[in-house]
Every structure is written in structure tokens, then in C-alpha cells.
Structure 1
Amino acid sequence: MKDGPDISRIGQLIGDPARANILSALMSGKALTATELAQEAGVTPQTTSGHLAKLADGGLVRIRKQGRHRYYALTDDEVASVLESLMHLAAMKGHLRTRTGPRDPALRRARVCYDHLAGDKGIQLYDALIKRGHLIETGDDLSLSAEGETFFSNFGIELSSLSTGRRPMCRQCLDWSERRTHLAGMLGKAVLDEIYLRGWAKREPNSRIVAFSQSGEKQFEDILIAGTT
């Protein structure tokens, strides 16, 4: 047996259709109950419990207890990043599910990727920040420039509070629907949190869709895209 990381175990955990549905549901960034995840997975609650136990044992999900209730969430940002990259790879290779109904265009337009903004809006934001020199790409690495620090401070984000954890300040994340990059990391989360706080957009119930109001979209365009904080 060769030494090194055992990627086959991770592949087996993610590769089961029911577990893949569970992990995709948790990409919303919300902690969900086993009952809610059973509905997402399309299997019985008993079967879901077995899948969740395997995912927890494999380090892909964590259990959060609140009183007598148990909620499940992705373990961390690294798991979310891998899942989004796999979504991107599946889309790039043509492995797509059949999409019906009006929700898909909205999902592609703006959605939550774990805890940051993805879809058309997320890519538009990333491209604007790169163009204005607020973000600097060095290969696969991403950093915040001095001008970017000033911009986001004026936007209302306390940058000093973002550099205290293990997660990077800013990170590239491949977008499965557009096959381009959007902003992740602590800064990506802070930007989406500020968008919610300002009332520009809100999460649709039981969905990853981020719905912008008409006035909120204009503010998004003027301030974050055009850079007029």
C-alpha cells in the first residue's frame, strides 16, 4: 500500500448519490436537521442517519447540538471549497443534472456558496475588484492591496477582525455555473454579510438563491462594482 493521503475514502463518501445530495444541501452554509437532509437526499430518515454518521466519521460534516435538537453542517471552508471545485469540474465535463423550472436562472444569477456570493453577481464582483486593483492575483494566490483595504474599510468591513482565524482573508473559488472565479475566504463572507445587513438582498427560504431588490442591485452596481463607496 502506498503512503500518503487516502483520496479514495473521500471519493467514496462524496460519490454516493444520497450523500452527494446531503453535501450539496449543506453548501447553503446553513445547519440542517436530519429530517431536512432526508428530504434533500430522497431517502428515509433511517438511511440518512447512516449517511450522516459516515460523513461525520470521515470529517466532512460536523454535528451542532442545541438543546435536544441536532443540526448538521459542513466541517469547514476547506470542505466547501472542494465541493464547489467538484461542481465546477462536473459542469466543465458535461455531467449536469436536468434542470427544470424558473429557479435555475435565479440560482445562476446569485447564490450562496457556503458563506460567500457566487453566480453571475459573485463573478462580476470579483472581476471589478481585480480590475480596480483592490485584489491582486499571484498565480492561485489572492491578496488584498492597500487600496483594497481602504475600499473595504470605507464599505464598513472591519478588516482587523478577519485576520484572526485560520481561514485566509481572501481566496479564489471556482464557480461551477460560470466556470470562472469568485471571491471566497473571510472577506468574501464579510462582503455577503454586509450586503444582507444593508438590505440589498436576502436569502430565499430553503434555497441557496440570493435575491437582490431593485434598489439593492443598483447599490451593488454603484458601490461594489463601480467602486463609489
Structure 2
Amino acid sequence: MVAEPDIAAVAQAIGEPARAAMLLQLMDGDAHSARALATVAGVAPSTASTHLRRLCDAGLVVVTDAGRQRLHRLAGAEVAQLVEALAALAPPRLPARLQPDPPSGPLLRARACYGHLAGQLGIDLAVLLRKDDVVDELAPGETGVVRTFDHPLLAALGITELRGTGPAVRACLDWSHGTAHIAGVLGTTLLTALLDEGWVRRRPGGRALRVTEAGRRRLGEHGIG
């Protein structure tokens, strides 16, 4: 007899504000120390360690030793998909009229989503590449292929092939706009190229990204404002 999965155990691990805040920070795809995550969650480092142990025990976070530091990251892409799906269902912490622009505005415009690009910029790129038949229209969670690399945007970013494991393209539900952006190896390659070319920069202390002046000009050349 096969037992039903214990989704309550995972929900209980996530369902605490400090742990949820840590998971959202880890959605940037980087590894973070317990002290850094404590700051994000607004708790003491000793309390953060307890929360992180709970997340590790639930299989949501993994920890590695880096010299004298212990660094934490999401356990895998499936955890990122879970967090993004929950974010799409979750209400804002404040009424929309009270949402402060500095933290929320940049996140809505462009942010890292576990190694790929999300927010309005991520959606705009997905729309362009779908319109020009580089990728297919996919429902959130579906996977596909890159049909061609012969596209002006990919050429401008120096993308001629994909290197990495996993699906070439995966449609990831964007919680902030209710539609899909591009994940998978192509999504990771796009964000890496945008950062390498200086079209976007990481904002300190979070997942939000800033489009540079050069980025606005170069993206505008491809019809992305």
C-alpha cells in the first residue's frame, strides 16, 4: 500500500514568517550564511539557525561548508517552483495602496528567480521569444526546446548554444503578473548574459535587478521598453 504524501509536513516548515522570508531570499539562486538570512528574516542568528535546521529537515534547503562558513541554498529547482507557486496564490503583506515602492516596485520590474529572470522584464523577453518562434507557448510547468538561436536578441547577448542540464525551456509562473516567464537552461543563460553584458545589475540586499542605462538602450533596440 502506497501512503499519501505528507504535504502538511512541508507546509508546516514553510508556514512561519521568518522561514518564508528566508526561502524568498534564497530564490535569488545564491548561497547565504545564517547571519545574512537572519537579517532578512528579522530574527537573531541563533533563532535563524533553528529555522534553517527545520527547512533542511524538510528537504527545502541544503547547507554546505565553505571554509569557516556554512552556506544555505534551496535544495533544487522543484523547491523554487513550489515557492513561486505559493507566491502566486499568496496575498500581499500590505494592501496595494500601502505597498512601499522601493521594495515592491523593483521586484515587479525585474528580479532573479532561482537563476533566471522574472518580473515584467522576464515576461517581456518571453513574449518576444514566443512571438518570434524561438520558443513555444507553454503553460506553467511545461517544458520545451529552443527552436532557433538565429534571433537578434540572442545574438546581441552572445547566446549561440545552451550549456547545462535539465530542460532547455520551462515555463515558470510569475507570481507578480500571473503569467509565465522563461526558466530552464535558456532562462539561466539569458539572465547570466544580461548580467555579463551589463544590461542589468543586482540590487544590494535582495532579488531585485536594476536595468542599466545601456540595458535600456539595448533592450529598446529589440522593442522592449
Is the shorter-chain TM-score for this pair beyond 0.5, marking a shared fold? yes
Shift of 1:117: 0.9
Q: Deviations over 1:145-190 (max 9, x none)?
A: 43x333376342353523xx2x211111111111111111111010
Note closer, same or farther for the CA distance 1:58–1:158 as it changes in structure 2 (3 Å cut). Answer: farther
Q: Pick the structure with more helix per residue.
A: 1
Secondary structure of the structure 1 residue equivalent to 2:124:
helix
Match of 1:60 in 2: 60
Shift of 1:4: 2.7
Q: How does 1:34-113 map to 2 (within 5 A)?
A: 34-90=34-90, 95-98=91-94, 99-113=99-113
CA RMSD of aligned residues (A): 2.1
Q: How does 1:141-152 map to 2 (within 5 A)?
A: 141-146=142-147, 148-151=148-151
Match of 2:219 in 1: 220
Shift of 1:139: 4.8
Structure 1: stretches of 5+ with no match in the other structure: none
Q: Which amino acid aligns with 2:14?
A: I
Rounded Cα–Cα distance in structure 2 between residues aligned with 1:221 and 1:85: 30
Count of residues paired in the alignment: 218
Secondary structure of the structure 1 residue equivalent to 2:137:
strand
Structure 2: stretches of 5+ with no match in the other structure: none
Match of 2:14 in 1: 14
Match of 1:161 in 2: 163
Shift of 1:225: 5.0
Note closer, same or farther for the CA distance 1:139–1:22 as it changes in structure 2 (3 Å cut). Answer: closer
Secondary structure of the structure 1 residue equivalent to 2:198:
coil
Rounded Cα–Cα distance in structure 2 between residues aligned with 1:209 and 1:64: 25
Note closer, same or farther for the CA distance 1:53–1:158 as it changes in structure 2 (3 Å cut). Answer: farther
Q: How does 1:115-126 map to 2 (within 5 A)?
A: 115-126=115-126
Q: How does 1:124-139 map to 2 (within 5 A)?
A: 124-137=124-137, 139=139
Rounded Cα–Cα distance in structure 2 between residues aligned with 1:145 and 1:32: 32
Q: Deviations over 1:174-229 (max 9, x none)?
A: 11111111111111010010011111111011121111112212212324859xxx
Secondary structure of the structure 2 residue equivalent to 1:211:
strand
Q: Which amino acid aligns with 2:120?
A: D
Note closer, same or farther for the CA distance 1:207–1:138 as it changes in structure 2 (3 Å cut). Answer: closer
Rounded Cα–Cα distance in structure 2 between residues aligned with 1:109 and 1:96: 16
Checking the alignment, whether the CA contact within 8 Å between 1:135 and 1:142 is kept in structure 2 is: no
Checking the alignment, whether the CA contact within 8 Å between 2:22 and 2:40 is kept in structure 1 is: yes
Percent identity of equivalent pairs: 38
Note closer, same or farther for the CA distance 1:157–1:202 as it changes in structure 2 (3 Å cut). Answer: same
Secondary structure of the structure 1 residue equivalent to 2:71:
strand
Secondary structure of the structure 1 residue equivalent to 2:64:
strand
Secondary structure of the structure 2 residue equivalent to 1:159:
coil
Q: Deviations over 1:62-93 (max 9, x none)?
A: 11211111111111111111101110111xxx
Secondary structure of the structure 1 residue equivalent to 2:59:
coil
Match of 1:32 in 2: 32
